[in-house]
C-alpha cells in the first residue's frame, strides 16, 4: 500500500472499505483517518501491535491465524481482518461491520477464501 513499507491489501479490500460507509463521505474520511493511523502502528510494530487495544488475534483461527483491527469506541463497529505473511508483511483481507457474532463468522470465512486465492 502506498505510504507503508510492509502493508499490502487484497484486491477487494478498498471496495469493501468503501461499502462500509455507503454515500457518507464525511464519515468515511473520519474513519479512514483512524484506519491510516492504525496501519502506521501496524507497519512499524508488526506483531507487537497486538499490545494495543485496536489489534487482536482472532481465537479459533489457524492456517492462517487471522487478526482484526477495531475501533473500540466506534459507533458503526467496523472491523478490518488481516494476516501476517512471512513475518514481514501484513495483508489486509476484508472489512465489515460487526452487528452480531454471525457477521464475524461470515467475515472470517471470507478472509480465509481470500487468503486461499492469494496463496494460489
Q: Encode pLDDT of 62-94 as tens digits.
A: 878 999 999 888 888 999 999 998 777 999 999
Rg (CA), the chain: 13
Q: Indicate whether 96 pLDDT > 80.
A: yes
Q: What pTM, to 2 d.p., does this model score? A: 0.93
Residue of 63 and 50 predicted with greater confidence: 50
Q: Where are the domains of the chain?
A: 7-119
Contact 32, 113 (CB under 8 A): no
Backbone angles phi, psi at 116, to 5 degrees: -60, -45
Please state, in angstroms and rounded to a whole number, the distance separating the CA atoms of residues 20 and 27.
Answer: 10
Q: What is the pLDDT of residue 93?
A: 98
The enclosing H or E element of 45 equals: helix 25-45
Closest CA to 39 of 90, 75, 73: 90
Amino acid at each position: 500500500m502506498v505510504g507503508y513499507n510492509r502493508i499490502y491489501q487484497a484486491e477487494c479490500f478498498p471496495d469493501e472499505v468503501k461499502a462500509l460507509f455507503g454515500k457518507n463521505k464525511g464519515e468515511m474520511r473520519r474513519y479512514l483517518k483512524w484506519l491510516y493511523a492504525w496501519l502506521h502502528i501496524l507497519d512499524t510494530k508488526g506483531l507487537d501491535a497486538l499490545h494495543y487495544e485496536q489489534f487482536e488475534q482472532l481465537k479459533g483461527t489457524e492456517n492462517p491465524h487471522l487478526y482484526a483491527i477495531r475501533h473500540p469506541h466506534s459507533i458503526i463497529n467496523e472491523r478490518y481482518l488481516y494476516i501476517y505473511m512471512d513475518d514481514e508483511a501484513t495483508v489486509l483481507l476484508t472489512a465489515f461491520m460487526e452487528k452480531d457474532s454471525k457477521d464475524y463468522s461470515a467475515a472470517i470465512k471470507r478472509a480465509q477464501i481470500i487468503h486461499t486465492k492469494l496463496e494460489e
